[in-house]
Structure 1
Amino acid sequence: MAKAISASELGIELQREDDASLFKWFIASFLMGKRIQAPIAAQAYKVIVEEQGCDTARKLQHCTSRDLVAMLGRAHYVRYDETTAQRLLDLSAKLNAEYAGSIIRMRNASDSPEAFEKRLAEFDGVGPKTIEIFMRDAAKVLF
């Protein structure tokens, strides 16, 4: 089994009450939670967030599906590019609509880590693997 990639290995320094780093890690976790090699998912994260500057839910939501498919393609993340692009758009739209784009607001709306994980699972394309990856690094700054 391949070694898991951590937030810090992607240059994401998770800190308490830091929505920017939590959002970046959520996107990276989402990409790595799919049946795709972790280095390719990490590269897709770098293209979308670092190179293209889609580092907030609002910025991500303003991309088109075609833009995201092209970004994923540049990272060789081509297996599920169409569905992944749409789910990234849906994820950002839901985060913006329900939590003003804030992972911390989502946490504040949850009365326990389990309730927070249940909210994460409500995002299309976020399953147990994505939640496991995200919480592995984020739990210590969220709870």
Structure 2
Amino acid sequence: MSARLSAADLGFRVRGDDEQSLFKWLLASFLFGKRIGHQVAAATWRVLVDTHGLDSPCKLRGCTHAQLVAMLGQGGYARYDHSTAERLRLLCDTLLEQYDGRVLGMLEAADNRDDFERRLLRFKGIGPVTLEIFMREAGPALFGHGP
């Protein structure tokens, strides 16, 4: 795994018309945006998505805090497991409550790319690093050009 994670490293491609790929990339960006090794973040993403099928906000939000903590630990993401589990649940809550559970819903609500990025930064647990990771692949897919 390279220091610059890509969706291809995880076995999929981010497409601007594919909600599932956008959410999977948001989840990957969220995990990789934390101070944790890339190998651990990738392994944890695989546990969540490949092993447990948590590829949508509804599916992820259906897990209890304890279940998420266990899955994060299974991937080796133990250092921040409780806070990350809570922030993942909050991320899904916000997507579900404000954007119909869709990254594309956030795109539809945004006036432009800058507004979309501001909306992402309002999610608890998403800061500039996570935003940069997410927009590196989602930006061109959603807006048709690079960052």
Q: Deviations over 1:14-51 (max 9, x none)?
A: 11211000000000000000000111111111101110
Q: How many residues align?
A: 142
Gaps of 5+ in 2: none
Determine the C-alpha separation between the residues in 1 that align with 2:11 and 2:79: 25
* Structure 1 stretch displaced more, 92-101 or 10-19: 10-19
Contact 2:121–2:131 (CA<8 Å) still a contact in 1? Answer: yes
Structure 2 partner of 1:94? 94
Q: Deviations over 1:86-142 (max 9, x none)?
A: 000110011011111110110111111111010001110000000000000111111
The secondary structure found in structure 2 opposite 1:95 is helix
Structure 1 partner of 2:61? 61
Query: 1:98-117 alignment to 2 at 5 Å?
Result: 98-117=98-117
Structure 1 partner of 2:36? 36
Misfit runs of 4+, over 4 Å: none
TM-score normalised by length of structure 2 = 0.94
Determine the C-alpha separation between the residues in 1 that align with 2:15 and 2:80: 31
Structure 2 partner of 1:73? 73
Gaps of 5+ in 1: none
TM-score normalised by length of structure 1 = 0.96
The root-mean-square deviation of aligned C-alpha atoms, in Å, is: 0.9
The secondary structure found in structure 1 opposite 2:17 is coil
The secondary structure found in structure 2 opposite 1:14 is coil
Structure 2 partner of 1:133? 133
The secondary structure found in structure 1 opposite 2:12 is coil
The share of aligned pairs that are identical, in percent, is 46
Corresponding letter in the other structure for 1:61: R
* Structure 1 stretch displaced more, 104-113 or 122-131: 104-113
